[in-house]
């Protein structure tokens, strides 16, 4: 074929726009979403468990289930704590903007609308949804008694309750909201201080939980075969299940103690 014709055909073919390429990439990423990833991991875990059971490694399955459940519980609770802390910080910032607008002479509905427009993009989705729903009711002219109390954040529900109280009793709502904001700020400072103070105990708990693994590595380095013993069944399987149960129980107890100390 003539090289000139090939060059002409190549110039006639235009590459897709960057937005189209990025859109296709985004769709591929969205297709492999978190629920699908969870389903894939669950299926793989079940298949692995069935294979171990078929190979007469029931003790390994029990130990893996206990360890996996403990790790998942820690991850879920840590994520919930971060979401609650972020929600409390966003709510305190929202109340701060509302109080500032009230001090500037704006009525409460307008103060809430203006404060909602300043919500950060990193605000938790349920909290942002409840705030925008609250603003929507306000724009429709609903009274405080007609507005549904939000449930995603207790502090936001308390704001609506204080608004109802101020409307029904004739109390200046700015004073109540200012007190609520100050209480949120104090709670946030207390949470930050306790989190910093409990960093040492958390690290100690993690180190203690990892000590059995370190012992197994040291045994393997000395020429022993701890993994083979623990996964071979018999007395090794019993030691594996009992040891894993003790480590998981110690991790859970440490978490409960640290959470109670942080309150």
Q: Report whether 119 contacts 131 (CB < 8 A).
A: yes
Structure tokens at 24: 């296709």
pLDDT at position 190 is 84
Q: Report whether 98 contacts 112 (CB < 8 A).
A: yes
From first to last of the 263 residues of the chain, give the pLDDT tens digit. Answer: 443 333 333 333 344 444 444 344 344 444 444 455 556 666 666 666 566 555 567 888 888 888 888 898 889 888 888 888 888 888 888 888 888 888 888 887 788 888 888 888 888 888 888 888 888 877 777 766 667 766 667 777 777 787 778 777 777 777 888 888 888 888 888 888 888 888 888 898 889 888 888 988 998 888 888 888 888 878 888 888 899 999 999 999 988 888 888 77
Q: What is the pTM of this model?
A: 0.63
pLDDT at position 46 is 67
Structure tokens at 165: 């109280």
> What SS3 state is found at 62?
helix
- The 3-class SS string of 69-128 reads HHHHHHHHHHHHHHHHHHHHHHHHHHHHHHHHHHHCCCCHHHHHHHHHCCCCCCCCHHHH
pLDDT at position 247 is 92
């Amino acid at each position: 074929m003539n090289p000139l014709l090939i060059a002409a055909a190549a110039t006639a073919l235009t590459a897709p726009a960057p937005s189209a390429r990025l859109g296709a990439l985004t769709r591929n990423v969205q297709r492999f979403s978190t629920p699908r990833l969870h389903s894939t991991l669950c299926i793989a875990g079940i298949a692995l468990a069935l294979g171990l059971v078929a190979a007469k490694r029931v003790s390994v399955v029990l130990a893996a289930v206990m360890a996996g459940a403990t790790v998942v519980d820690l991850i879920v609770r840590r994520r919930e704590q971060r979401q609650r802390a972020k929600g409390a910080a966003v709510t305190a910032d929202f109340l701060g903007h509302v109080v500032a607008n009230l001090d500037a002479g704006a009525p409460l509905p307008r103060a809430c609308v203006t404060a909602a427009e300043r919500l950060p993009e990193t605000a938790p989705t349920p909290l942002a949804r409840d705030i925008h729903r609250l603003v929507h009711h306000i724009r429709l002219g609903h009274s405080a008694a007609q507005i549904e109390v939000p449930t995603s954040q207790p502090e936001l529900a308390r704001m609506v309750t204080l608004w109802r109280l101020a409307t029904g009793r004739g109390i200046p709502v700015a004073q109540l909201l200012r007190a609520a904001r100050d209480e949120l700020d104090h709670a946030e400072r207390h949470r930050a201080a306790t989190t910093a103070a409990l960093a040492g105990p958390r690290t100690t708990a993690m180190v203690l939980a990892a000590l059995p693994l370190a012992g197994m590595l040291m045994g393997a380095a000395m020429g022993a075969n701890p993994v083979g013993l623990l996964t071979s069944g018999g007395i090794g399987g019993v030691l594996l299940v009992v040891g894993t149960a003790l480590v998981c129980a110690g991790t859970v107890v440490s978490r409960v103690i640290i959470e109670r100390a942080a309150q």
